[in-house]
Structure 1
Amino acid sequence: MAAFWRRKAQRLARADGSRKGALDPGAAAVVRLLNGRAPFCTTSSCSGRLVLAQGGGAAGAGGCGIHKQNCTWLMVAHGTCPKEEVMAALEKATGDVVLKFEPFVLHVLCEELRDAQLLHSVAVDSGFRNSGITVGKGGKIMMAVRSTHCLEVPLSHKGKLMVSEEYIEFLIHVANQKMEENIRRIDRFHRSLELALKPAAGASSPPPGQAETHRPVYRRRRKRRAEPERDAHAAPEGPGEEPEPESDTESSLGIFADMTI
């Protein structure tokens, strides 16, 4: 569709608007893989992070999202983090501080609903079970890749530490375990995407009239996925996860793609 190609061209021509001003290394391979395929365009991503956030209502905020307004980051790490780094950052605290772990998140603009459904299937199978699809104004189709193994714990109030150093050490251990699991899920998602999109290799961003080479991929994948459903001895999936908030989806007509896991 012409509207999708126009949006993709405009999006890819923009400068990175994140605080960092560049892709997180942990998310770069997935982002480049999707942007190199005709029916996809990533709009935002984060590979996962451990943050000490001060202000902006952080101490009373629920969910997994950072409230950026009036919020200061005392520390941010996109990998596992040592206790000493967190304690050093806490010494700068003058207000309410929260320790947060936020897992990988990715938002992808899709050409057609079937493209979003393919991406959703791969994401859920890779462990991102809170992923969903939203259709906005003008038929804009967004796919959000998300999970909810997050962490959010208040540590200080008005600059005063409210918990023991031993407890902080325990929290950092838990957060680092979550980060390691997060990295494994990203790797699994990337490998599964490569397999799902492999028949379309070499079809990087063709003109709209030639953007159909990926269509058989989803049909064949659906056929393969249907076979275990007929097998009475197929192993069940793991438990589902709770939803988390999304930041930048333009939704007026929601199609939240619930799946039975």
Structure 2
Amino acid sequence: MASFQQQKAQRLARADEGAAAVVQLLNGRAPFCTTSSCSGRLVLDTDSCEIQKKDCRWLMVTHETCAKDAVLAALEKSTGDVVLKFEPFVLHVLCQELEDAQLLHSVAINSGFRNSGITVGRGGKVMMAVQSTHCLEVPLTHKGKLMVSEEYIEFLVHIANGKMEENTRRIDRFYKGLVFALETGTSVSSSAEGKKKSHSIYLHRRKRRTAPEQDVHTPPEDHSEDLRPEEDTESSLDIFAEILT
């Protein structure tokens, strides 16, 4: 198995503009190497569009808030089924030691990314995934026919934009929490409220995968994004910390 530093050197070329500050902060520290990231995005996913990648087809993708008119204009390009999606910030970090991953996990949970977790693979590879369930997925057309009103699309865009704004706030909290944690070795909540206790870490054996993983690809301008963590396809240990307030 390649050393941690060798693995880090091979992967530092990846970056995501919206998550650049977090990525640069972590990669500037010896124990961490980010392997994939996405700052969050609004997507029109369809089975018939101009932007196509293997197993993933997009009519529109943006990492910022958008307007109803942009969505309607994009819908005109498709004769298939279209789904509007909001996908929140996701980050995967290769960590040198389990303790390093646990520190990141604590910061992620306290920043609102409550679906985050740690995976320890065979050979001792420690991966930390920062993610949340702050998502949205709504079908808009079927076989090219718009199934909802323009008023409803405007409502959905408003909801999606609100999620994008909250996503940005969470990334900012995560970045500030990381700065504090990396300087002090403790999370903000740990130092501010000593009476709060961390509860047990649960370990369980993952079932061996029975089907091959599907690759998630991105359009040319977002070639650095890979929304799936790089995990062992063999058995591994999942570690999830339960933080209670």
Q: Is the TM-score greater than 0.5?
A: yes
* Match of residue 224, structure 1, among 188, 191, 194: 191
Taking the aligned partners of 2:170 and 2:39, their CA distance within structure 1 comes to 11
* Match of residue 88, structure 1, among 73, 98, 118: 73
* Match of residue 28, structure 1, among 20, 25, 35: 20
- Please name the residue that 2:42 is paired with: 50
Whether 2:94 is the aligned partner of 1:109: answer yes
1:51-200 equivalence runs, <5 A: 51-55=43-47, 69-199=54-184
Q: CA deviation at 1:74?
A: 1.0
Q: CA deviation at 1:78?
A: 0.5
- Please name the residue that 1:4 is paired with: 4
Taking the aligned partners of 2:122 and 2:32, their CA distance within structure 1 comes to 18
Secondary structure at the aligned position of 2:83 is classed as strand
Q: CA deviation at 1:254?
A: 2.5
Q: CA deviation at 1:195?
A: 0.9
Secondary structure at the aligned position of 1:94 is classed as coil
Are residues 109 and 94 of structure 1, via their aligned partners in 2, closer, same or farther at CA, if it must alter by over 3 Å? same
Structure 1 residue runs of 4 or more that deviate by more than 4 Å after TM superposition:
220-223
Does structure 2 conserve the Cα–Cα contact (< 8 Å) formed by 1:134 and 1:249? no
Does structure 2 conserve the Cα–Cα contact (< 8 Å) formed by 1:120 and 1:133? yes
Query: Which runs of 5 or more structure 2 residues have no equivalent in the other structure?
Result: 198-226
| Sequence identity (%) | 67
- Please name the residue that 1:256 is paired with: 239
The total of aligned residue pairs comes to: 210
Aligned residues: CA RMSD: 2.3
> Structure 1 length as normaliser, TM-score?
0.74
> Structure 2 length as normaliser, TM-score?
0.79
Are residues 222 and 117 of structure 1, via their aligned partners in 2, closer, same or farther at CA, if it must alter by over 3 Å? farther
Are residues 190 and 223 of structure 1, via their aligned partners in 2, closer, same or farther at CA, if it must alter by over 3 Å? closer
Query: Which runs of 5 or more structure 1 residues have no equivalent in the other structure?
Result: 17-22, 57-66, 200-216, 231-245
Taking the aligned partners of 1:73 and 1:143, their CA distance within structure 2 comes to 28
Secondary structure at the aligned position of 1:138 is classed as coil
Taking the aligned partners of 1:24 and 1:77, their CA distance within structure 2 comes to 13
Does structure 2 conserve the Cα–Cα contact (< 8 Å) formed by 1:52 and 1:100? yes
Compare the two structures and name the one with the higher helix fraction.
1
Q: CA deviation at 1:2?
A: 6.8
Q: CA deviation at 1:38?
A: 0.6
Whether 2:30 is the aligned partner of 1:38: answer yes
Q: For 1:167-216, what per-residue CA distance to the aligned partner results, in whole angstroms no more than 9, with x for missing partners?
A: 111100100000000000000100111111125xxxxxxxxxxxxxxxxx
Secondary structure at the aligned position of 1:228 is classed as coil
Q: CA deviation at 1:226?
A: 6.5
* Counterpart code for 2:18: G
Q: CA deviation at 1:136?
A: 1.4
Q: CA deviation at 1:223?
A: 6.2
Are residues 137 and 166 of structure 1, via their aligned partners in 2, closer, same or farther at CA, if it must alter by over 3 Å? same
Secondary structure at the aligned position of 1:142 is classed as strand
Are residues 6 and 24 of structure 1, via their aligned partners in 2, closer, same or farther at CA, if it must alter by over 3 Å? closer
* Counterpart code for 1:256: I
* Counterpart code for 1:229: K
Does structure 2 conserve the Cα–Cα contact (< 8 Å) formed by 1:55 and 1:70? no
Q: CA deviation at 1:225?
A: 6.5
Secondary structure at the aligned position of 1:259 is classed as strand
